[in-house]
Amino acid sequence: MKRTPTLILLALIISIPLKLTAADSQVSLDTPPASLEQWYKPANKRQVWLHTMFRLRREMQAIGEYAKQDDRDAMEKWIKRLDKDYSKIADMVPEWEKEIKPRLLSELEMFAEKSDRYRLEETLDMIQRTCDDCHDSYQPLVTALYRSPDYEDIKVNGLDGNKQSFEDNMAALSESVNQVLIALDDGHKTVALQASQNLADQLQNLGDSCNSCHKEDEYPRERILGKATQQRFEKLQMNISDWHVKDSQKLMGEIAVTVCARCHNTHRIVYDLRNALMPTE
Ligand code: HEC
Ligand code: HEC
Ligand code: HEC
């Protein structure tokens, strides 16, 4: 059992409504079977499980649409595909065999042959229920566990030239931010100047690690650490030099929002959630 606030947050992030009542303020999510891991990166080259799911949804939609048009050939084509992918669920994760009902697929085929649209659609609904049941129990946790980024192996250059972990880089950033704010508060201009320069350098080093996930894509780095951020740092240095304390504090606030918070909103929340939800051995 997990505490409610975490789960509400999880639900917000991955858009899955959780029904909560005053009487029942706890929700449980089932831990997915270990054999699922092999169908996800990095164990697998591709997100095989997820792509099977996308195909299932497409196949269900195609069958529903062709049923309305009574196009038997097209239905047959897509029922064959659905049959194949639906049975893959139990092939890939044997522990989930009991979650699916392959006999519904033979029935689907039979009703399609007979052009019995009413029972065909009823059967489609029954198949959909097996999808929904499994999703209700497992989907949020699987998404958090297997599809959230991992920062463990990323190394960032420290100010002393040594490599540091992502986490240590974060601790150092936080220290520099507070050093600037404390020095501004207490009238220590040289310290404030040095600390703000350190912060800019630390962020520059952090920026070199973005491409370990974002690869060739320059845009994510530009969005958070690009021209707008550089200009804020230049303005900050000038304002500290001229000892405009209020303006400097305001700029620090802007940096905290547009750099730290903006990045945390996409990266840190999911990471923290995954760690909180990760089943302990
Ligand atoms: C890549 C975008 C990114 C940027 C930019 C960023 N952070 Fe982080 N931050 C993260 C991630 C991801 C984590 C959680 C991973 C970890 O702790 O290793 C984190 C964790 C933290 C933590 C907690 C560390 C701990 O010990 O658990 C602090 C404090 C922090 N960041 C401060 C900052 C400050 C201050 C800034 C801005 C000056 C900043 N971060 C900018 C991504 C970012
Ligand atoms: C035995 C469990 C199980 C069954 C049965 C199942 N799914 Fe899934 N499905 C999952 C899990 C787990 C995820 C989460 C995967 C992820 O986020 O990487 C998922 C995710 C999905 C997604 C992706 C949602 C998104 O946009 O992120 C789709 C679409 C989907 N399933 C369709 C279907 C359809 C259609 C069926 C029935 C024909 C079905 N699934 C049956 C376990 C199941
Ligand atoms: C461990 C992997 C990882 C690292 C390292 C990482 N990101 Fe991301 N980032 C992601 C994932 C996953 C997403 C969400 C999917 C996507 O947009 O690619 C994302 C999304 C983003 C987005 C929102 C989507 C967009 O393209 O506008 C921005 C901005 C971003 N990252 C900036 C950064 C910056 C800046 C850094 C380095 C300081 C960084 N990221 C480092 C994994 C990472």
Exposure string of 131-148, with b = 16+ CB inside 10 Å and e = fewer, is beebeebbbbbbbbbbeb
Pocket residue to mutate for ligand 3, from 201, 209, 213, most atoms within 8 A of Cβ: 213
Are both 202 and 272 inside the same structural domain?
Answer: yes
Residue 261 Cβ < 6 Å to ligand 1: no
Number of domains in the chain: 2
Do 145 and 274 meet the contact criterion of CB atoms below 8 Å apart? yes
In a domain, 16, yes or no: no
Are both 92 and 127 inside the same structural domain?
Answer: yes
Are both 119 and 161 inside the same structural domain?
Answer: no
Q: How many CB atoms lie within 10 A of CB 203?
A: 21
In a domain, 210, yes or no: yes
Are both 170 and 128 inside the same structural domain?
Answer: no
Counting ligands in written order, the one closest to the CA of 220 is 3
Counting ligands in written order, the one closest to the CA of 263 is 1
Rounded to two decimals, the pTM is 0.79
Are both 79 and 125 inside the same structural domain?
Answer: yes
Are both 188 and 100 inside the same structural domain?
Answer: no
Q: 263: CA distance to ligand 3 center in Å?
A: 8
- Which atom of ligand 2 is found nearest the CA of 82? 38
So what's the pLDDT on residue 109? Answer: 96
Are both 198 and 165 inside the same structural domain?
Answer: yes
DSSP H or E stretch at residue 32: none
Q: Among 146, 163, 192, where does a domain finish?
A: 146
Residue 129 Cβ < 6 Å to ligand 2: no
Q: 139: CA distance to ligand 3 center in Å?
A: 23
So what's the pLDDT on residue 144? Answer: 86
- Structural domain containing residue 196: 155-277
Q: What angle do CA 62, 134, 115 make, to 5 degrees?
A: 30
Are both 207 and 233 inside the same structural domain?
Answer: yes
So what's the pLDDT on residue 14? Answer: 42
In a domain, 110, yes or no: yes
Query: What CATH number is given to the structural domain containing 85?
Result: 1.20.120
Sign of CA dihedral 130, 134, 135, 137: positive
- Residue closest by Cα to atom 43 of ligand 3: 213
Do 215 and 249 meet the contact criterion of CB atoms below 8 Å apart? no
Do 156 and 206 meet the contact criterion of CB atoms below 8 Å apart? yes
In angstroms, the CA 157 to CA 165 distance is: 9
Residue 271 Cβ < 6 Å to ligand 1: yes
Q: 139: CA distance to ligand 2 center in Å?
A: 7
So what's the pLDDT on residue 110? Answer: 97
Pocket residue to mutate for ligand 2, from 29, 108, 139, most atoms within 8 A of Cβ: 139
Residue 54 Cβ < 6 Å to ligand 2: yes
Q: Among 119, 146, 173, where does a domain finish?
A: 146
pLDDT tens by residue, the chain, 281 residues: 344 444 444 444 443 444 444 455 676 678 899 999 999 988 999 999 999 999 999 999 999 999 999 999 999 999 999 999 999 999 999 999 999 999 999 999 999 999 999 999 999 999 999 999 999 999 988 988 888 888 988 999 999 999 999 999 999 999 999 999 999 999 999 999 999 999 999 999 999 999 999 999 999 999 999 999 999 999 999 999 999 999 999 999 999 999 999 999 989 988 888 888 776 65
Q: Among 104, 120, 146, where does a domain finish?
A: 146
185 is written with which tokens?
Answer: 């508060």
So what's the pLDDT on residue 113? Answer: 94
Residue 233 Cβ < 6 Å to ligand 1: no
Are both 167 and 136 inside the same structural domain?
Answer: no
Are both 169 and 90 inside the same structural domain?
Answer: no
Burial group, residue 263, by CB count within 10 angstroms (0-12, 13-18, 19+): middle
Are both 256 and 167 inside the same structural domain?
Answer: yes
So what's the pLDDT on residue 279? Answer: 64
Residue 271 Cβ < 6 Å to ligand 2: no
In a domain, 17, yes or no: no
Q: 168: CA distance to ligand 1 center in Å?
A: 9
